[in-house]
Amino acid sequence: MATTTASPPKGGFGYRHPRARLAALLAAPMAWLVVVYLGSLAALFLTAFWTVDGFTGALVRTFTLENFVDVFTTPAYLQTMLRTLGIAISVTLLCLLIGVPVAFFMARVARPRWQPLLVALILTPLWASYLVKVYAWRAMLSPEQGVLAWFLAPLGLDSPGFGELSIIVTLTYLWLPYMILPVYAGFTRVPNSMLDASADLGAKGWRTFRSVIVPIIFPTMVAGSIFTFSLSLGDYITAQIVGGKVIMLGNVVQQNYVTNLPFAAAFATIPVIIVLLYLAAVRRTGALDNL
């Protein structure tokens, strides 16, 4: 933040007026952010209150809550919303369940010289195309002939097939690095002396993990969950490829934005609001300082 502390005169406008200097520095990126980012959000929000003429298909620019009423009163839409929320929560929990131990191993168990390599390994999938990865999972999860089915066949089991579970598995894979990396960074910042102190005071490994490490890295877990949660909430391609008949929030938006843009906008506003509510809830944990 800019400070208003008077600094001794050094000559130069910027030095005498730190706020002006800051404004000059930030003007361009701020303008970009406001116009492109907030502008599009505002447009989305505005559109959500318009309607489409049933006959002509033209936009009717008068304020109405009709779209939102539609969204919340149509059982199919409500169901999709809740299902999407459920998927996002499941993906986030799975990412925590897998990501936290992996991050712990990377930061605390693996030898220090292996750490950069492990980080690179976690990053590698991020460099591959999203579509390639999802289609790879389609091949993995495909019933009867998929890789998973092949592995499970001797046990008399089959792949879960395309559906909700496959969406969760695929999204968990896709977003896992976004959980592992901040949590890993959090683990590396826990000083060793903190762990020694806990042991010194009589705590065994598990107790130290529960009472000292987890609370200290909690903000980074929240930071990771913001990624996994909001990315899952907005995703629709994975559902198309491995979801079978199951659709998510994004699919509804995709199906409607040509024929009924205002309705699609209203529907798209919902994940934005959910994420904002989530952000407001986690603000207290200090997690946003770690993003």
Partner 1 sequence: MLAPFSGVLRTVSERGHVSTAIRLTNLRKEFGDVVAVDSVDLDVADGEFLTLLGPSGSGKTTVLRMIAGFEQPTSGTIELAGVDVTQVPPYSRDVNTVFQDYALFPHMDVLSNVEYGLKVKKVSKAERRQRAEEALAAVRLEDYGARKPSQLSGGQRQRVALARALVNRPRVLLLDEPLGALDLKLREQMQVELKELQRAVGITFVFVTHDQEEALTMSDRIAVFDAGRIAQIGTPVEIYEHPKTPFVAGFVGVSNLLEAGVAASLLGREGLWSVRPEKIRVLLGTASPEGSERAAAGVIREVVYVGMSTRFIVDLDAGATLIAVQQNSHATSSELGAMRGQRVTLMWNTEHEIPVG
Q: What residues make contact with partner 1 under the rule CB under 8 A? A: 191, 193-194, 196-204, 207, 211-212, 215-216, 218
Nearest alpha carbon to residue 135 among 98, 165, 164, 174: 174
Q: Cβ 228 to partner 1, closest distance in Å?
A: 23
Calpha distance 127→129 (Å, rounded): 7
Is residue 228 a contact partner of residue 178, using CB atoms and an 8 Å limit?
A: yes
Minimum CB separation of residue 186 from partner 1 in Å reads 12
Nearer to partner 1, 94 or 183 (CB): 183
Q: How far is the CB of 218 from partner 1 (least distance, A)?
A: 8
Shortest Å distance, C-beta 157 to partner 1: 43
Instruction: Classify burial at 275, counting beta carbons within 10 Å of its beta carbon; exposed 0-12, middle 13-18, buried 19 or more.
Output: middle
Pick 182 or 262: Cβ nearer partner 1:
182
Residue 133's SS3 state is helix
- 140 vs 212, beta carbon nearer partner 1: 212
Nearer to partner 1 (CB atom), residue 156 or residue 202 = 202
Cβ neighbours of residue 199 closer than 8 Å, sequence gap 6 or more = 208
C-beta of 78 vs 197, nearer to partner 1: 197
Closest approach, Cβ 205 to partner 1, in A, equals 9
Q: Exposed, middle or buried, 160 (CB in 10 Å: 0-12/13-18/19+)?
A: middle
Which of 191, 265, 242 is CA-nearest to residue 252?
Answer: 265
CB of 211 to partner 1, least distance (A): 8
Rounded to whole angstroms, how far apart are CA atoms 214 and 78? 36
Among the listed residues 197, 179, 196, 198, the one whose alpha carbon sits nearest the alpha carbon of residue 104: 179
C-alpha 172/C-alpha 157 separation (Å) is: 22
- Name the residue nearer to partner 1 (CB basis): 39 or 205: 205
94 versus 217: smaller Cβ distance to partner 1: 217
Q: What is the DSSP letter of 145?
A: T
Cβ atoms 234, 171 nearer than 8 A: no
Q: Report, in Å, the least distance between residue 200 CB and partner 1.
A: 5
